[in-house]
Structure 1
Amino acid sequence: MSSKLLDCRGLACPQPVIETKKAVEAGNDNNILVIVDNAAARENVSRFAANAGCKVDIKEKDGFFHLEITVPERNIIKTGDQAGAKTETPQTAGNVYFIATNSLGQGSPDLGEVLMKSLMVTLTQQDPPAALLFLNTGVYLAVEGSPVLEQLQALAGKGTEILVCGTCLNYYKLNDKLAVGTVSNMLDINTRLTGPYKVISIG
C-alpha cells in the first residue's frame, strides 16, 4: 500500500483541508498521514475525511495532531472520475443563508437583535434552509447564551446544516462555547455558496 505525508503545521485555515482533499481525491495513496498544529484544523480535516468515506485515527504527539487517514479501496482510482464524490454538497431542499453578523440591519443594535430573532423564528415555521453559514460576528448566534439558540437547534433537528467558521470562533475566543452546529472552514463554506442553492446574504 502506498502512503503520503502531509505536514500542514503552520498552515492557515482552510489550507490543511484543501491539501487533504487534494490527496484523497487524487486516489493515489491508501494511507495519508496529516500533521496539524491546532484543534480547528484537526476537526476540519477529520470531518472532511470522514465525509469522504475514510477511516480516521487521531493521535496527539509532542503537541501536534497526527491524523492517520485510510482511504477506502474503492476510492483508489486510475481514471480520476470517482474520488471525492462524497464531499459534494448534499442535495436537500431549501436556501443557504450566509450570515456575517449577529444583528439584522443598520441602526439600533437592540432592534437588530430583535429582528434577527424574528428571522430565525420565521425560518423555523417554513421549509427549513439547506444550510446556515455563520462568519465574523455571526458566530455569536451559535454559541452559549445566543438569543436564537433555541431556533437554531430546532432547525438543526429538521436537517438544516449549520456551519460555523472556526477561524472566527478562534478570533473571538469562542472555541469552547459553540452550542449548535459544526466548526467549519472557508472551503466548506465556499462549497455551499457555489452549490445548487439560492444564497441569501445577511450582514
Structure 2
Amino acid sequence: MINKIDVRGVSQQQALNLVETVFEDQNHSNVEILSSDQAITTALIDNLIKKGLTVEEVLQTPEGQTIIASTSHQQTILPKSYVIENNTLGQGNEVIGQKLINAFFNVSSDYEQVPTSIFFVNTGVKLCIDQADTVDALQKLQDKGVDIIVCGTCLDFFEIKDKLAVGRIGTMHDLIGIYHSQNQVISL
C-alpha cells in the first residue's frame, strides 16, 4: 500500500514526526512524501536512511520534491568492517582532514546500522586515545556493539598505549581475521 504524505508548509520537526508515524504503522511499506523545502527534503532523506529505509527516488516537481521511500525493498546489510589507517580523512590539508574524520565518526555513531568492527592502525590509533575528539563517538559505536580494535604495535610505536580511552588492544591476527570473515572491508 502506498501512503502519500504532504509536508509542504510544516516545520522540519513536524515533517519528521509525520513520516515517522507512517512508517511505525506496519501496513505502509511504500511512501510518497511531498515537500517544497529543500532543507526539509534533505533532513527527511537523512532520517529515512538512518532508520534503514530505502529511498527509491527523489523527483523534482513544480511544487518541490517527491521522495519515494519503502521498507519492503530494503537491501540486506552485509557485515562490514572499517580499517582506519590515519587520523585524518582524505589527502591534503591535515586540519580539514581531522575535521572530516571527526565528522565521519560523529555522524556514523548516529546511525542504527553500524559496522561489525573498526580496526585502527598506524596514526589511526591516535583517534582512540585520551583527549581525541573522536572518543565519545567511538564509545557510542562501541556501546552499539561495534568491536573497536586498536593496533597494539602502533600504540607502542607512538608510546601512547597508556592513553587508550576506547576499544581493545588488537594484533595482526585480529586484522587478518577481519579480512577473512567480513563480506566488506572499507579502508579509510
The TM tier, using the shorter chain, reads 0.5 to 0.7
Contact 1:93 1:129 in 2 (8 A): no
Q: Does 1:129 align with 2:112?
A: no
Report the structure number with the largest CA radius of gyration.
2
Instruction: String of CA shifts for 1:135-179, please: whole Å, max 9, x gaps.
Output: 000000011111111100000000000000000000000110000
Q: What code does the residue aligned with 2:107 have?
A: T
Report the equivalent of 2:97: 112
Contact 1:94 1:128 in 2 (8 A): no
Q: What code does the residue aligned with 1:116 have?
A: I
Q: Which residue, out of 74, 83, 94, partners 1:98?
A: 83
Percent identity among equivalent residues?
35
Instruction: String of CA shifts for 1:55-100, please: whole Å, max 9, x gaps.
Output: xxxxxxxxxxxxxxxxxxxxxxxxxxxxxxxxxxxxx964200001
Aligned pairs for 1:1-203 (under 5 A) are 94-126=79-111, 127-202=113-188
Contact 1:143 1:180 in 2 (8 A): yes
Relative distance call for 1:121 and 1:184 in structure 2 (3 A) is same
Q: What TM-score does the superposition give when structure 1 sets the normalisation length?
A: 0.53
Q: How many residues align?
A: 111
Query: After TM superposition, which residue ranges in structure 1, 4 or more long, deviate above 4 angstroms?
Result: none
Q: Aligned-pair distance for 1:125?
A: 2.0
Point out where structure 1 has 5 or more consecutive residues left out of the alignment: 1-91
Point out where structure 2 has 5 or more consecutive residues left out of the alignment: 1-76
Pairwise CA RMSD: 1.4
- Structure 2 CA distance for aligned equivalents of residues 152 and 124 of structure 1: 7
Instruction: String of CA shifts for 1:107-151, please: whole Å, max 9, x gaps.
Output: 111100111011102211221110000000000001111111110
Contact 1:101 1:138 in 2 (8 A): yes
Contact 1:166 1:185 in 2 (8 A): yes
Contact 2:79 2:182 in 1 (8 A): no
Q: Aligned-pair distance for 1:103?
A: 0.4
